[in-house]
Structure 1
Amino acid sequence: MTDSRASSEAQDAKDPGRRADTAPTSDRVTVNLTGKAVQALQRLQYLTGYNKTDCINRALIIAGEIEEMSREPGAFYWRETPDSDLMLVRFV
């Protein structure tokens, strides 16, 4: 293996989302959820009608997008109704 390829693979291991062309199509994992996370998952299932796998997959995708956006300059705003005032949202 060349040094540049080894370096590229090492970087991919640090940032698995960096190279979409080499991303696996699926992966099976076991996860231990806290009580609060279990309640959140159950609530999300109730609200969406999705199964646990779909809820977790969607949550991870959204969390990744939020994490990327939060690293960029700018701000997030939320409006509860079309007529309500904008509220600044902060993710911690």
Structure 2
Amino acid sequence: MLYRARVHDFIGLLRGRTVLSDDLSTNSLWPILVETVHSLILYTHHKAYVRDVTLHEKPDISPHDLAMSLNISLGEAMVILNELKGGESE
């Protein structure tokens, strides 16, 4: 039951955030998401593209908009933006 509540809270954070915050990094599921995203084959290429192109064109892009524009998962977009905007390092 506790696990279900944590997952529900985490999904709420994913849906409700347009700006990344400390709420994500303190959630117990955040490290699992980061590890999963880091295992994606195209993750490094997506991150480089966001760093070199997207953030120069739209520095305040939301995770949702990034996910839509690159056709990637919301989780991957959140991790990439968190890392590039000074959050957790790789």
Normalising by structure 1, we get a TM-score of 0.29
When normalised by structure 2's length, the TM-score is: 0.30
Point out the structure with the larger strand share: 1
Relative to total residues, which structure has the larger helix share, 1 or 2? 2
Larger Cα Rg: Structure 1 or Structure 2? 1
